[in-house]
Chain A
Amino acid sequence: MSDYRVVGQSVRKLDAVDKVLGKAQFAADIHFDGMLYAKVFRSQVPHGILLSIDVSKAKALAGVVIVLTGKDVPGSNSAGIIVKDEPVLVKINEKIRKIGDPLALIAAETEALAEKALELIEVDIEVLPAVFDPIAAMTDSAPRIYADGNVLAVRKLRKGNIQEVFTDCAVIVENEYRTQMVEHAYIEPEAGVARLEGDVVTMWVATQNTHFDAKEVARNLKIGLDKVRVIQATTGGAFGGKLDVSVQIHLGLLALRTRRPVKLVYSRSESIINSSKRHPCIIKMKTGADKAGKLLAMECTIIGDTGAYASYGPGTITRTAVHATGPYEIPHVAIDAYTVYTNNPTAGAMRGFGVPQVAFAHESQMDILAEKLGISPLQIRLLNAFRPGSVTATGAELTQSVGIVPTLEKTKAAAATLIDSQCSVMNGAKRRGIGTASMWYGIGNTGLPNPAGAYVNLLDDGTALVLTGCADIGQGSSTTLAQIVAEEFGIDMEDVRVVSADTGVTPDGGATSASRQTYISGNAVRLAAQEAKKVLIETAAAMLVVTPDEIAVGNKMLSVKQTAEQSQYLTDCQGECRLDLGLSPKGRGLSVRLVDCIAQCRSTGKLTIGHGWFNPDTTGLDPETGQGKPYATYAFATQIAEVEVDTESGEIEVIRIVAAHDVGKAINPVNIEGQIEGGCTMGLGYALTEQIQVREGKILTKNLATYLIPTALDIPEVYPLIVEEPEQTGPFGAKGVGEPSLIPTAAAIANAIYNAIGIRFTELPITPERVLTKLQEIQNANV
Chain B
Amino acid sequence: MSKEVICFILNGQKMEIEVEPSLLLIDMLRNRLGLTGTKMGCGEGECGACTVLLDGKTVNSCLILARQVEGHEVLTVEGLGTYDKLHPLQDAFIAEGAVQCGFCTPGMLLSAKSLLDENPQPTRNQIAKHISGNLCRCTGYVKIINAIEKVAKSD
- Interface set of A (CB-CB < 8 Å, partner B): 10, 12-13, 15-26, 28-29, 31, 184-189, 234-239, 265, 267-268, 473-476, 670-671, 673-674, 677-682, 703-705, 709-713, 715, 718
Contact = CB atoms under 8 A, between A and B. Distances in A.
A187 B137 contact: yes
Chain B contact surface mostly: loop
A31 B31 CA distance: 9
Contacts of A705: 44, 46
Contact of B101 (A187, A711, A713): A187
Name the residue among A19, A267, A682, A713 with the largest chain B CB count within 10 angstroms.
A19
Interface stretch (B53-61, B63-71, B87-95): B87-95
A228 to B, nearest CB: 25
B109 interface: yes
Nearest to B133: A711
A321 to B, nearest CB: 28
B86 interface: yes
Given A20-B94, A29-B36, A474-B102, A711 B42 contact: no
B49 A711 contact: no
Given A704-B42, A712-B131, A713-B129, A13 B101 contact: no
Contacts, number: 185
B145 interface: yes
A475 B101 CA distance: 7
Interface of B: 30, 34-44, 46-47, 49, 76-78, 80-83, 86, 90, 93-97, 99-106, 109, 127-129, 131-145
Name the residue among A16, A184, A709 with the largest chain B CB count within 10 angstroms.
A16
22 contacts: A12-B94, A16-B94, A19-B99, A20-B86, A187-B137, A188-B39, A188-B101, A188-B103, A189-B42, A237-B137, A238-B101, A239-B137, A268-B46, A473-B101, A474-B103, A673-B97, A677-B143, A678-B140, A680-B140, A703-B44, A712-B141, A715-B142
Name the residue among B44, B127, B142 with the largest chain A CB count within 10 angstroms.
B142
A237 B86 contact: no
Name the residue among B30, B39, B86, B140 with the largest chain A CB count within 10 angstroms.
B140
A498 B32 CA distance: 32
Contact of A674 (B39, B90, B104, B139): B139
B132 A236 contact: no
A109 to B, nearest CB: 13
Given A22-B76, A268-B44, A677 B140 contact: yes
Contacts of A711: 132-133, 135, 141
A718 B47 contact: no
Nearest to B31: A31
The 6 closest A-B pairs by CB, nearest first: A22-B37, A474-B101, A236-B103, A19-B102, A681-B140, A22-B77
A671 B135 contact: no
Contacts of B140: 674, 677-682, 710, 715, 718
B60 to A, nearest CB: 12
Contacts of B40: 28, 189, 265
Contact of A22 (B36, B132, B133): B36
B76 A678 contact: no
A712 B90 contact: no
A21 B81 contact: yes
A235 B101 contact: yes
A13 B136 CA distance: 18
Contacts of B95: 12
B150 to A, nearest CB: 14
A704 B99 contact: no
Given A13-B94, A13-B99, A15-B102, A682 B141 contact: no
B143 A674 contact: yes
A184 B127 CA distance: 25
A715 B141 contact: yes
Nearest to A676: B140
A184 B137 CA distance: 8
A476 B90 contact: no
Contact of B43 (A184, A186, A239, A267): A267
B88 to A, nearest CB: 11
Given A23-B37, A186-B101, A236-B39, 17 more contacts: A15-B99, A16-B93, A19-B105, A20-B81, A21-B83, A22-B36, A22-B77, A22-B106, A187-B41, A187-B47, A187-B136, A268-B41, A268-B42, A474-B103, A670-B96, A712-B129, A715-B128
Contacts of B36: 22, 25-26, 28-29, 31
B97 A713 contact: no
A185 B137 contact: yes
Contacts of B44: 268, 703-705
A238 B138 CA distance: 9
Contact of A475 (B100, B135, B142): B100
Nearest to B27: A111
B142 A718 contact: yes
B74 to A, nearest CB: 14
A360 B93 CA distance: 34
Contact of A474 (B42, B127, B135, B138): B138
A506 to B, nearest CB: 20
A26 B128 contact: no
A20 B105 contact: yes
B99 A713 contact: no
Contact of A713 (B35, B132, B137): B132
B154 to A, nearest CB: 17
Nearest to B30: A29
Nearest to B131: A712
Contacts of B39: 26, 28, 187-188, 236
A680 B36 CA distance: 31
A285 B47 CA distance: 38
B105 to A, nearest CB: 5
A544 B100 CA distance: 45
Contacts of B102: 15-16, 18-20, 24, 234, 236, 474
Contacts of B80: 21-22
B67 to A, nearest CB: 18
Nearest to B96: A670
Given A712-B132, A713-B132, A17 B103 contact: no
Contacts of A20: 77, 81, 86, 90, 93-94, 99, 102, 105-106, 109
B141 A681 contact: yes
A473 B135 CA distance: 17
B108 to A, nearest CB: 9
B139 A677 contact: yes
A31 B36 CA distance: 10
B104 A187 contact: yes
A187 B43 CA distance: 11
